[in-house]
Chain A
Amino acid sequence: MTCIRHLLLPALAAALVAAAGPASAAEKFITVQSTTSTQNSGLFDYLLPKFSAKTGIEVRVVAVGTGQAIKNARNGDGDVLLVHAKAAEEKFVAEGFGVKRFDLMYNDFVIVGPAADPAKVGGMTDAMAALKKIAAARAPFASRGDDSGTHKKEISLWKTTGIDVAAASGTWYRETGSGMGATLNTGVGMGAYVLTDRATWIAFKNKADFRIQVEGDKKLFNQYGIILVNRERHKNVKAEWGQAFVDWMLGPDGQAAIASYKVDGQQLFFPNARPGS
């Protein structure tokens, strides 16, 4: 028994050290807490190598829903936050967790649905009226239900219609509690309408007979913001490299790179950083 005990701890330590490998070695990298739409659309795969080539800083992206991304950043588990829920982002900064929030880029949300269009909303440009029709027809609607940026937007749209979707949850209104792609898969599977950001939709490969049914409402605007996590809150924040990333994204190189990213010939994100802000 004693011999086992003598061997155990060193062996454990050796295993962990050996397995830790190169990833734990000190490298020049930052961690960005971000949202699934920027990852799933392929934007980061396109942008980040350009930034890394210029600065030598590796960017590690953790792509989760906006709610979880903000929570992780509050815990200091990231150097930069890049999400799309302006009110929550401003709260994050106001509470001292972020240095400053900048507008970075935008696109828009669309409502997608099956070709059969049971609620007859195809071609509508008034999101509020379309949602009212979906509710009146009790046509299935798949919600993220996960406190993400898209979910917050959807809830705010329902609020303007005066319809209590929480009461309908489990009937025609279905909360998947998962990411954008998973919710689209579910929506396609059950023939339900889904509110999605346009970038994820264009890059999504399992569209089946689904198409964009509602678009073009000003209320469907989708603004992304970028925030450096505050070093005064978490000493581990790599402020200098994080700032370099924020500066690059907001500067001419980053903004041009965002504009040049296309899937199937369509631009997914539109840069709108204000110079000198």
Chain B
Amino acid sequence: MQDFGAAFGEAFALLLGFDPALMEIIGLSLRVSLTAVFISALIGLPLGAVLGVSRFRGRALVLVLLNTLMGLPPVVVGLLVYLTLSNAGPLGPLALLYTPTAMIIAQSILVTPIVAALARQTIEDMHAEYDEQLRILGVGRGGMVATLLWDARYSLLTAMLAGFGRAIAEVGAVLIVGGNIHHVTRVMTTAIALETSKGNLALALGLGVVLLLLAVVINAAVMGLRATAARWAHA
């Protein structure tokens, strides 16, 4: 398979050439997926933390549902968001279909359960450890959630990275609600799918290499941030 060798050549040619079309696609991929992760964190972290410290009837069922939602098929989410945002759908008048906003909404739906479910587990484990101490200090439920979220911040970063991995890699949802429109809604994964369908296998694989490098940079940046913060905390 000469395509493997050619793919790396394509990837480096694309990156070193700072191909403007590629930069635009990378930029949109990052904008959509990072925003989706940010929104998912805003919803998922508090939701997961509250679930982690509360006990109520039917909790087990809620947890099973939440954990199941981590496996939401992107195509199904894309279809649901399409039907909602379509001009024939309930939110048609907002004219959001085939825009980056529609893609962010779809990815947020995919990522929120992942962040929430992983945060729930982390907070629940910490809660078991610190519950007594926090009670003695007279910390209420809200304060407890906030304290645990803050103390678990590094573990929760990993939950968010898991969510980011899901968002940046999925193609099924963004293809349906974004439409893979050139200069408007084309992202890395939909570009890879398009080049594959044109039979440009080396270019498609090259784009895949670029996407992986992008994920490496994001993960390394988060890791570096974490290490720096930890050093400051101990200094």
- A72–B141 alpha-carbon span in the complex (Å): 48
List 7 extra interface pairs beyond A16-B35, A203-B198, A234-B87, CB under 8 A.
A1-B141, A19-B104, A60-B181, A179-B197, A205-B198, A206-B200, A207-B199
Contact in complex: B87, A182 (CB < 8 Å): no
Given A1-B142, A1-B145, A234-B87, check contact A62 B201 (CB 8 Å): no
Contact in complex: B32, A19 (CB < 8 Å): yes
Q: How large is the interface on B (under 10, 10 to 19, 20 to 34, 35 or more residues)?
A: 35 or more
Residues of A within 8 A of B38 (CB): 15
- A74–B83 alpha-carbon span in the complex (Å): 12
Residues of A within 8 A of B181 (CB): 31, 60-62
Residues of chain A from 155 to 190 with CB closer than 8 A to chain B in the complex: 179-182, 184-185
Q: Which of A21, A74, A77 has the most CB of B within 10 A?
A: A77
Given A15-B42, A19-B31, A20-B99, check contact A77 B86 (CB 8 Å): yes
- A24–B46 alpha-carbon span in the complex (Å): 30
Nearest to A48 among chain B residues (CB) is B182
Q: In the complex, how many residue pairs between chain A and chain B have their CB atoms under 8 Å apart?
A: 114
Given A15-B42, A60-B181, A185-B199, check contact A76 B50 (CB 8 Å): no
Residues of B within 8 A of A184 (CB): 199
Residues of chain B from 147 to 191 with CB closer than 8 A to chain A in the complex: 179-182, 184-185
Residue interface mask A1-17, B partner, CB < 8 A = 1: 11110001001100110
Q: Which of B38, B50, B89, B182 has the most CB of A within 10 A?
A: B182
B14 on interface, CB distance cutoff 8 Å: no
Residues of B within 8 A of A4 (CB): 46, 142, 145-146
Q: Please, could you name 30 A-B residue pairs with CB atoms under 8 Å apart, sorted by A? A: A3-B142, A4-B46, A8-B46, A12-B39, A12-B43, A15-B35, A16-B104, A21-B100, A24-B96, A24-B99, A31-B98, A31-B179, A31-B181, A39-B194, A40-B197, A61-B181, A62-B98, A75-B86, A76-B86, A76-B92, A77-B87, A179-B197, A185-B196, A185-B201, A204-B198, A204-B199, A205-B200, A206-B199, A207-B199, A236-B87
Nearest to B89 among chain A residues (CB) is A75
Nearest to A208 among chain B residues (CB) is B199
- A63–B35 alpha-carbon span in the complex (Å): 26
Contact in complex: A21, B87 (CB < 8 Å): no
- A45–B180 alpha-carbon span in the complex (Å): 14
- A15–B100 alpha-carbon span in the complex (Å): 12
Given A8-B46, A60-B179, A61-B181, check contact A23 B197 (CB 8 Å): no
Say how far A173's CB is from chain B's closest CB, in angstroms. 22
Residues of A within 8 A of B86 (CB): 72, 75-77
Nearest to A188 among chain B residues (CB) is B199
Number of interface residues of A (CB under 8 A): 42
Contact in complex: A23, B87 (CB < 8 Å): no
- A58–B96 alpha-carbon span in the complex (Å): 17
Contact in complex: B35, A19 (CB < 8 Å): yes
Say how far B10's CB is from chain A's closest CB, in angstroms. 12
- A181–B50 alpha-carbon span in the complex (Å): 48
- A75–B179 alpha-carbon span in the complex (Å): 15
- A218–B97 alpha-carbon span in the complex (Å): 40
Contact in complex: A76, B100 (CB < 8 Å): no
- A250–B38 alpha-carbon span in the complex (Å): 47
